[in-house]
């Protein structure tokens, strides 16, 4: 059974992110299952830190992107989601290739949501595990 309350359209979600931090870094939502959301990121010079490894902050952007989009899709039309805390543990370094992030909800409450995000290499080697805490807030009034 699907957890999503809003229609999930990969093309529209990716287009919305173009020109923003996650789009500039090359994060692309690749799959939305019944209870997870997945994205891919190419590890290349624009995502490296000075020593040629995937920048830990980029892993955090990937994690928050997945948790935030997932959270948004689980909110009703009167609410939105904002991240309030992210915790990330970097387990292995990556120099090149692709990483894949998968987010699943730990709890979908009326006021708070908690998401677990696993980032792995294409062959399944763990890169980063993260947890996002997000507040469910009313939509801003339309002006």
List b or e across 6-21, with b for residues whose CB sees 16 or more CB atoms inside 10 angstroms.
eebeeeebbeebeeee
- Confirm whether 78 is a catalytic residue: no
What the block records as the tokens of 123 is: 């062959």
Please identify which of the residues 64, 77, 78, 122 carries the catalytic annotation: 64
Do 104 and 114 touch, CB atoms closer than 8 A?
no
Q: Using CB atoms within 10 A of its CB, is residue 43 exposed (0-12), middle (13-18) or buried (19+)?
A: buried
Active site residues: 64
């Amino acid at each position: 059974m699907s957890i999503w309350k809003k229609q999930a359209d990969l093309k529209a979600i990716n287009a919305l992110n173009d020109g923003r931090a996650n789009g500039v870094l090359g994060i692309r939502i690749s799959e939305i299952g019944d209870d997870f959301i997945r994205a891919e990121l190419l590890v290349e010079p624009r995502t490296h830190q000075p020593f040629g490894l995937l920048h830990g902050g980029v892993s955090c952007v990937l994690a928050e992107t997945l948790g935030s989009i997932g959270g948004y899709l689980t909110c009703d039309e009167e609410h939105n989601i904002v991240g309030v805390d992210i915790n990330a543990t970097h387990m292995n370094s990556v120099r090149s290739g692709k990483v894949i992030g998968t987010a699943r909800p730990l709890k979908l409450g009326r006021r708070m949501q908690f998401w677990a995000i696993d980032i792995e290499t294409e062959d399944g080697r763990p890169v980063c595990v993260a947890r996002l805490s997000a507040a469910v807030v009313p939509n801003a009034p339309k002006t």
